[in-house]
Amino acid sequence: MSHEEFAEYATTYARDHGERGTLSVRQLQRLLSPRPDGTPRPRPATRRLLEQIFDTPVDVLLAAPGEEAGADIDGWDRQVSALNRDIAAAQRVGHDAIAQFTIQIDSTRRLDRRFGAAALLDPLRLHLDHIETLLVHATAGETVRALAALLADGHALAAWQALDLGRLTDAWRHSGLACDAARAAQSPALLAHALAERTVILADAGRTADSVELSERARTAGDRSSDLLRSWLAAAHGEALAAHGLQDDSLHAFDDAVRCLPDHVDPDDGEPYITLGPAHLARWRGHALARFGHRDAVPVLVEALAAHDADFTRAEAGIHVDLAAAYLATGDRKSATRHRDRARTVSDAVRSRRQHRRIAALPLV
């Protein structure tokens, strides 16, 4: 690289990895230019940045050619330096850092609802890689559990985004990482949530029997969780049962979800992030009814659409797909076509391949 290219690379690397160091072209030239009084020492933040980029102690980086030979048998000194650096970084994680990491994931979630995942998944992955590096090098139990809980939440979000973008393998991998992180966090609630999310991936892949079995395990894992989570798990079970064609069992599960849904929700730091209310449950139930061609599908979905929160753009596309299917079951092709076209418009806006795949499956010309 030229000096300018490397300085730009270092700036981008620092931003993506949470490093505070900077490296201008002038600084780089000063470090590279031999001087009679010795090579200038970089500032501590710049030193950490260079060591992070090259995974090599800065003394070795700035040494004259050949000076470092034999000084580091089998790279031991370099490995010790790197390990100490990473452990020290993990030890700097406190409540304020956890709060900032959480804010970033929540911000991604809110943007995803409205604009879709296309521009958000890769930055989220970088954020999760940073958290995972800290987790691997954390030694304090409280820090380990807090970082693991963040990873469980973040990978669950990444799994949903990947599924919506049509990246099935990535979705499965992220959901598995969410399960692993939930276990590391020692959180049955987070594990139940991650397992239930996997049921959607299984159903989309056509493995509906496996989806039903896993959703039952998820409900069992979360049977001592909050009313809100138990309601969500019951609804996820109902959706899995609907995908497998078990109408009565599915509708009973949705009845359970309504019974569990609390009138008031207090934030619980120990539970996964869930947005759930009567309108969301109506949307899920309507989706199941549309699968069965049930006569109640249209009124339930029309009511769900009327109560729908406009911030959930991708969910709106799903409601229109379900309404198109429901109207087709009644023989009303005109209404079905209207909702199909609206679903396509909204899906285009958020670039949802998952909804486009559902639209393409509708038997409409």
CB 51 within 8 A of CB 12: no
| pLDDT of 69 | 46
| pLDDT of 65 | 63
Domain boundaries, the chain: 295-365
Average pLDDT of each block of 10 consecutive residues along the chain (365 residues)? 87 81 85 66 83 82 62 72 89 93 94 92 93 94 95 96 96 96 96 97 97 97 94 97 97 97 75 91 96 96 93 93 96 96 95 96 86
Task: List Cα–Cα distances, 65 to 35, 50, 68, 116, 258, in angstroms.
Answer: 15, 18, 7, 51, 71
CA distance 91 to 74: 27
CA distance 330 to 319: 17
Q: What φ, ψ does residue 67 adopt, rounded to 5°?
A: -65, -30
| pLDDT of 256 | 97
Q: Which of 285, 284, 280 is nearest to 265 (CA)?
A: 280
Place of tokens 């309108």: 279
Residue 351: exposed, middle, or buried by beta-carbon count in 10 A (0-12, 13-18, 19+)?
A: middle
Q: In the chain, what is the greatest distance between 2 CA atoms, to the nearest angstrom?
A: 88
CA distance 267 to 264: 10
| Paired tokens of 293 | 């061609």
Look up residue 204 and give its amino acid: D
Task: List Cα–Cα distances, 84 to 17, 68, 98, 137, 313, in angstroms.
Answer: 17, 20, 21, 9, 46
CB 177 within 8 A of CB 124: no
| pLDDT of 357 | 95
Q: Could you give the residue ranges of the DSSP H alpha helices within the chain?
A: 3-16, 25-32, 44-54, 58-62, 76-91, 95-115, 121-137, 141-164, 168-184, 188-204, 208-221, 227-243, 247-260, 278-292, 297-306, 313-330, 333-350, 353-360
